[in-house]
């Protein structure tokens, strides 16, 4: 696997389920790719959990007048945070840095 392939898989790790490409490639042999794949996997799982929470809040509060705006605001917040963290991770790949993502970056799922 060339260094360009590693960088490409590292970029893709921060875009939703594309972290699976890095996971099923040589991520065990390359610590940089393993780091970025782990960060992308943690980000994707966090997004999924946040969307489930949004769905639950929407089910509970979505029918109440004046309070029904809370699920919409929550969804906008989740989306903006996910985009910001993805861009942060992609910038780390571009700069060849191994900085963890804010708040969730300390979680390590890959050994």
Please give the pLDDT value at position 67: 83
Distance between CA 68 and CA 93 in Å, rounded? 39
Please give the pLDDT value at position 89: 96
Please give the pLDDT value at position 23: 86
Please give the pLDDT value at position 7: 93
Please give the pLDDT value at position 71: 85
CA triplet 11, 88, 84: central angle to 5 degrees? 110
Please give the pLDDT value at position 3: 86
Distance between CA 81 and CA 49 in Å, rounded? 13
Please give the pLDDT value at position 26: 72
In terms of Cα–Cα distance, which of 33, 8, 14 is closest to 23?
A: 33
pLDDT tens per residue across all 111 residues of the chain: 788 889 999 999 999 899 999 888 876 788 999 999 999 999 999 999 999 999 998 898 878 888 888 888 989 999 999 999 999 999 999 999 999 999 999 999 987
Residue with tokens 């490639």: 25
């Amino acid at each position: 696997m060339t260094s360009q392939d590693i960088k490409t898989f590292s970029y893709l790790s921060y875009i939703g389920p594309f972290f699976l490409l890095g996971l099923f490639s040589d991520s065990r042999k390359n610590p940089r790719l393993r780091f970025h794949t782990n960060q992308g996997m943690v980000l994707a799982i966090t997004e999924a959990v946040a969307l489930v929470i949004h769905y639950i809040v929407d089910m509970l509060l979505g029918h109440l007048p004046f309070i029904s705006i809370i699920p919409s605001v929550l969804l906008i917040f989740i989306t903006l945070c996910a985009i910001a963290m993805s861009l942060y991770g992609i910038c780390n790949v571009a700069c060849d840095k191994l900085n963890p993502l804010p708040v969730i970056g300390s979680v390590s799922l890959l050994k």
